[in-house]
Amino acid sequence: MCGIIGATSSRSVGKILIKGLHAMEYRGYDSAGVALNQDSEVFRLRSLGKVSSLEELMINNKPKAKSGIAHTRWATHGAPSEENAHPHGSHNEIYIVHNGIIENHDEIREKLKEKGYKIASETDSELIAHLIHLNKTDSSSTLEALIKTTTELKGAFSIAAISSEEKGKIYAAKQKSPLLIGKGIEENFVASDPLAIANITEKFYLLEDGDFAEITKNDIKIFNSNGEPVQREETKIDATPTSTSKGNYTHFMEKEIYEQPDALGNTINGRLGENDVLDNIFGLGSSDAFKKVKRIQFVACGTSLHAAKTARKWFEEICEVPCYIDFASEYRYRNPIVEDHTLFVTISQSGETADTLAALEYARAEKYVGIVTICNVPTSTMAREADWKIFTNAGPEIGVASTKAFTTQLAALMMLALSIAKSQDKNADKRKQATQELRETPALVDQAFSLKENISQITQNISTKHNALFLGRGMYFSIAQEGALKLKEISYIHAEAYPAGELKHGPLALVDEEIPVIALAPEDSLVEKLLSNLEEVKARGGTLYVFGNANSTIEVKKGKFINMPDCGDYNAPIIYTIPLQILAYEVACLRGTDLDQPRNLAKSVTVE
């Protein structure tokens, strides 16, 4: 989704800004732009498409400015175009970049038109530049005009602004959309994503909702909405260049798939004892608080939601508590009835997903026992808002398609189930088995990588198809859903997942000689049932690709049976995810898609 970077320095900032935009490309965008405070005017360049096109324009123009702002835009209001790209300006004086959505844009647009403002784009963002310009007429400073402007805005925003009259100065405002300040030596920065400036500084100030900032190369001033100075703690964020480069891999997604043994190791290390999880791994007081939990409400989006759906069985089996699971975008609109002793759990790789954050905010006012967050970004809003949390420690995930985030979320969810069961003294034998299996997971994931050769034998066929069907039963239905999501988002092949037993209730009509049917068949209590469902596919001439145990009795004549590593009941869902990730990746490579940044998608979805 959109990315903001601003820099003020004693050196020229053009390269810094372009590098920052490149570092945020993974978030997904359709256009990019830069506004530089140069000479007496602001010099602006914008281009549709990749940051490299903007970079070329910069090389041709060779700007020398020492301060400026830049942006990658992911269209919400108005089509992707050069006119709609940020920065937006007003009267060649005020220039802004904006992330988020201004909900009352129609009203503001009318007001500005009445005052004679000419609006050049279809965006809600441009209105902010004009409003600051308008408010400046009766303000003593640009900061005051910015503060006044934000009182008129409804919605979520992070803004960086410059004025042609104040070279070397950048203004910032934050409300419900991430923004941080980076501190350098004789240079300071503002960014919506720490990765944008990770190669130049490790020192950050995380702005809070309602914060404003005024930044020069030697000074960072942070204010509250009354314009009074406030202090924010200096935070160290270590996003090393190796974790944000592809290394020897062709794509970030490929690198992130193969990083999973290490990522999982980092999730569980220091959190497991001999036969149990350690106490308070979700934060001080969590083990005590979990004694009261009688039911759990999970809320998440996309892949993170699939993690909750997969893990439900662990909570029901090991903690003996029922679980409710909602799409974050739906949860608060169904006016959920919250029973006593319910724990609220959000799961999010980024910790910034707007739908999940809005659900968390709603839950805060309800009578939950407390809020737990499972997330990968320690500096995220969700991490700050939760009562208890666990970081998955997977390292930056750059590919839009979530891979290591998902498997590490599953490991963290297993640890949450174990923590609750331990607090309530339930099922010590199951806890012991699950703890041991968790420990074996990184090595098993490593073994699963050796399936790549077998998978390569089926990808050519799948890559030529328009549709694919994924089947599973029990927890493996959720893993099948994750497999289908992976395939559709990066290869653009339409893929659906069904609990195999549902096939005969409708989707069987889709099965013909053309459609590949991918089935997950671990030797669990449901495998016999699955077998008969697969017979229904065979009888219709369907091509089956089955992932199952070496001792399985499933016979595949048309298609392929792929032997999975020998895993336990608790870690198998994690291991069965791996071949589906490799399958989606290989198919997308054959189809030549832009798989790290698939069309229309964003990494961190910060709008509702």
Query: Which residue type does 313 have?
Result: K
Q: Which is nearer to ligand M6R, 307 or 546 (CB)?
A: 307
d(CA 185, CA 204): 13
Q: Which is nearer to ligand M6R, 400 or 438 (CB)?
A: 400
Q: Supply φ then ψ for residue 362, to 5 degrees.
A: -65, -45
Q: Which is nearer to ligand M6R, 147 or 237 (CB)?
A: 237
- 33: enclosing H helix or E strand: strand 31-38
Closest approach, Cβ 586 to ligand M6R, in A, equals 16
Closest approach, Cβ 327 to ligand M6R, in A, equals 11
Degrees (nearest 5) of the Cα angle 328, 332, 334?
110
Closest approach, Cβ 605 to ligand M6R, in A, equals 5
Q: Which is nearer to ligand M6R, 1 or 153 (CB)?
A: 1
Strands 170-175 and 155-163: antiparallel
d(CA 275, CA 296): 24
Degrees (nearest 5) of the Cα angle 200, 203, 205?
125
Which residue is listed with tokens 């408010």? 135
- Sheet of 543-548: strand order equals 494-499, 467-472, 516-521, 543-548, 559-563
Q: Which is nearer to ligand M6R, 561 or 585 (CB)?
A: 585
Interface ranges with ligand M6R (CB under 6 A):
301-304, 348-350, 353, 356, 400-402, 485, 489, 604-605
Residue 162 neighbours by CB under 8 Å, 6+ apart: 6, 35, 37, 42, 67, 68, 69, 94, 95, 169, 170, 171
Tokens of 28: 């997904």
Tokens of 473: 């039963």
Can you say whether the dihedral through the CA atoms of 242, 245, 248, 254 is positive or negative? Answer: positive
DSSP 166-185: STT-EEEEEESS--EEEE-S
Contact 343, 370 (CB under 8 A): yes
Nearest residue to 385 via CA among 396, 370, 397: 370
Give 530's strand partners: none
Closest approach, Cβ 60 to ligand M6R, in A, equals 35
Which residue is listed with tokens 């069985």? 313
Q: Which is nearer to ligand M6R, 26 or 561 (CB)?
A: 26
Neighbours of 165 (CB within 10 A): 13
Tokens of 215: 């930044």
Strands 187-191 and 3-9: antiparallel
What is the DSSP code (8-state) at residue 358?
A: H
Closest approach, Cβ 280 to ligand M6R, in A, equals 25
Closest approach, Cβ 596 to ligand M6R, in A, equals 11
Closest approach, Cβ 592 to ligand M6R, in A, equals 19
Q: Supply the residues annotated as catalytic.
A: 2, 603
Contact 65, 13 (CB under 8 A): yes
Q: Which is nearer to ligand M6R, 6 or 598 (CB)?
A: 598
Q: How many residues does this entry show for the chain?
A: 608
Closest-CB residue for ligand M6R?
Answer: 302
Q: Which is nearer to ligand M6R, 197 or 605 (CB)?
A: 605
Closest approach, Cβ 178 to ligand M6R, in A, equals 12
Closest approach, Cβ 120 to ligand M6R, in A, equals 32
Judged on CB neighbours under 10 Å (0-12, 13-18, 19+), 421 is buried
Tokens of 79: 């089509």
